[in-house]
């Protein structure tokens, strides 16, 4: 558990620091104004590598739809060789044109908020979404129960004037 937490932290720091090297805006700040953010959707698919779950994961997000910075997301995880099934719903907040943070709670599975009353027992997750190149997207996540997750996919702009770089 400590190794995967350390690895996740290193990946997160490396991802955030790479923005300063590759994406040069006219401003020097990492955080951008809401006027520079545009509504978009993203769809990603990936994997939950924890051996007890061995699951595929699919995410759908609507970004920058509330106050030009907040959005909503949902994910579904299905075990490949098990009966494991989980879903989460949550929010995301854009911190940069090419990055957003997300967090959510499980709702419907055995460890979902609707099936347990103990806060420490239901599923919680958080992570970062990064757009490394044009309209591609990489989402790295973490949950205490499930561990690290990774998905990749595409970003779908909802406005014509959106920068595609």
Q: Is the pTM higher than 0.85?
A: no
The pLDDT value recorded for residue 41 is 95
- Whether pLDDT at 26 is above 70: no
Radius of gyration from C-alpha coordinates of the chain: 16
The residues that bridge with 151 in the sheet, in sequence order, are 46, 139
- Domains contained in the chain, CATH given: 2-20+40-157 (2.40.128)
What are φ and ψ of residue 115, in 5° steps? Answer: -110, -5
What are 95-121's pLDDT values in tens digits? Answer: 988 899 999 988 765 544 455 555 556
């Amino acid at each position: 558990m400590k190794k995967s937490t350390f690895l996740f932290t290193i990946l997160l720091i490396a991802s955030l620091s790479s923005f300063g090297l590759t994406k040069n805006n006219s401003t020097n700040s990492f955080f951008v104004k809401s006027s520079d953010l545009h509504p978009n959707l993203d769809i990603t698919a990936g994997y939950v590598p924890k051996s007890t779950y061995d699951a595929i994961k699919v995410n759908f997000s609507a970004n920058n739809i509330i106050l030009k910075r907040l959005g909503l997301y949902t994910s579904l995880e299905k075990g490949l060789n098990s009966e494991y099934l989980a879903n989460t719903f949550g929010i995301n907040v854009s911190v940069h044109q090419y990055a957003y943070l997300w967090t959510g709670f499980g709702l419907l599975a055995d460890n979902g908020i609707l099936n347990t009353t103990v806060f420490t027992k239901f599923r919680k997750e958080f992570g970062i979404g990064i757009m490394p190149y044009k309209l591609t997207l990489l989402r790295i996540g973490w949950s205490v129960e499930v561990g690290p997750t990774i998905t990749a996919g595409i970003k779908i702009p909802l406005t014509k004037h959106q920068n595609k770089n």
